[in-house]
């Protein structure tokens, strides 16, 4: 089978899926992100805002599932994200953010990718894959931290994740919402025992993608290898090879356009409550778009990622934009390469 057989049709780049009550997911996620960031800003603890933001991402899981299934997914995601945040803070506190610590970040990200893949397959969470966990550990490891910040990371990320779960289940208080039909959920339970070869294959692909993308970004001296690793992981969360290539294409094209939006927002030098408000609005719009067209969602995901680095105060606007562009390209190429090679190996076996 030729490589072209694995390529998506060009019209898929522009296809927009159904709304599917995306506004409810957007509202829940917006609340889950807004409250902890507002509390930290009001109390002068903005250095911990990045920990809270990643904990809040537990709210994005189980968007179309019934409340019981959503609870399973979000609790598993909350624990995984909290562990990833704490792991990243620990790497930063113990090794710093430069030199050999950069290679420790790649290794830690690969371990989290494997763990997130196994947990995700066991629980059957949606969105699939360890993308948020890899993003969390790699980003938090790049934020300067002291040993005392490890406990803070656990409390802030854990509290934010717990709040996100409560927000995600709040609709269960309404009898009308409980009675609404939900899209079928993937099977849960002991999936690790039911389909072990596929589960191991998924985890291996994520690990290879993270190691290769992170190593390339680190060797060439780019300042934010987290973005290369995330861009490599993103395509692999799709189940088929054409879909994986499409996801990579969406990420590259959407990031290119999203960097223009980011440049405008970064030029304002946003801080404090205004920065938090913009981050929340970008997160809300992202959840409105992400399942409809991933490329369109990158218009808001890209500035959101850069503004989260602004929350952490880790780099200038120009460096952020340049790093994002280069690392997204590196990660997309690596992700596509891993997808195509794994498809070839699976076909030969």
Mean predicted confidence (pLDDT) in 42-60: 94
Are residues 251 and 15 in contact, defined by beta-carbon separation less than 8 angstroms?
A: no
20 or 138: which carries more pLDDT confidence? Answer: 138
Which whole-number Å values give the CA distances from 23 to 72, 111, 126, 244, 283, in the listed order? 22, 34, 17, 26, 12
pLDDT band at 271; cut points 50, 70, 90: confident
| pLDDT recorded at residue 174 | 58
Distance CA 229, CA 110 (A): 9
pLDDT band at 8; cut points 50, 70, 90: low
pLDDT band at 181; cut points 50, 70, 90: very low
Are residues 254 and 234 in contact, defined by beta-carbon separation less than 8 angstroms?
A: no
What number of CA atoms fall less than 13 Å from residue 245's CA on the CB side? Answer: 16
| pLDDT recorded at residue 318 | 80
In degrees and rounded to multiples of 5, residue 225 shows phi and psi of: -60, -15
3-state secondary structure string, 250-307? HHHHHHHHHHHHHHHHHHCCCCHHHHHHHHHHHHHHHHHHCCCCHHHHHHHHHHHHHH
Is 80 exceeded by the pLDDT of residue 190? no
pTM of the model: 0.91
Average pLDDT, the chain: 88
Is 70 exceeded by the pLDDT of residue 179? no
pLDDT, tens only, 278-332: 999 999 999 999 989 999 999 999 999 999 887 766 567 788 899 999 999 999 9
How many residues does this entry show for the chain?
349
Handedness of CA 113, 329, 6, 12 (dihedral sign): positive
Distance CA 241, CA 125 (A): 20
């Amino acid at each position: 089978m030729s490589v072209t057989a694995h390529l998506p049709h060009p019209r898929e780049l522009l296809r927009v899926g159904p709304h599917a009550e995306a506004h409810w997911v957007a509202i829940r996620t917006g609340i889950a992100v807004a409250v902890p960031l507002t509390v930290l800003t009001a109390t002068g603890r903005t250095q911990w805002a990045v920990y809270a933001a990643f904990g809040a991402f537990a709210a994005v899981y189980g968007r179309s599932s019934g409340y019981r299934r959503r609870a399973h997914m979000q609790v598993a995601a909350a624990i995984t994200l909290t562990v990833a945040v704490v792991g990243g803070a620990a790497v930063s506190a113990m090794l710093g953010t430069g030199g050999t610590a950069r290679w420790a970040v790649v290794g830690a990200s690969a371990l989290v990718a494997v763990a997130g893949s196994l947990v995700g397959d066991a629980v059957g969470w949606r969105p699939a894959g360890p993308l948020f966990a890899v993003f969390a550990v790699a980003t938090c490891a790049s934020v300067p931290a002291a040993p005392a910040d490890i406990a803070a990371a656990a409390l802030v990320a854990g509290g934010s994740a717990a709040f996100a779960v409560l927000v995600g289940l709040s609709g269960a208080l309404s009898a009308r919402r409980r009675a609404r039909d939900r899209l079928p959920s993937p099977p849960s339970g002991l999936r690790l025992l039911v389909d072990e070869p596929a589960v191991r294959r998924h985890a291996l692909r994520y690990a290879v993608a993270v190691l290769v993308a992170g190593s390339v970004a680190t060797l060439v001296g780019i300042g934010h290898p987290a973005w290369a690793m995330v861009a490599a992981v993103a395509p692999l969360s799709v189940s088929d090879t054409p879909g994986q290539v499409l996801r990579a294409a969406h990420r590259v094209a959407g990031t290119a356009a999203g960097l223009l939006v980011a440049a405008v927002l970064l030029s304002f030098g946003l801080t404090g409550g205004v920065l938090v408000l913009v981050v929340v609005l970008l997160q809300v719009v992202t959840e409105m778009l992400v399942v409809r067209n991933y490329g369109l969602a990158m218009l808001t995901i890209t500035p959101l990622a850069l503004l989260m680095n602004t929350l952490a105060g880790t780099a200038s606007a120009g460096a952020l934009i340049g790093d994002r562009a280069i690392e997204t390209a590196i990660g997309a190429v690596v992700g596509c390469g891993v997808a195509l090679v794994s498809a070839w190996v699976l076909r030969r076996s």
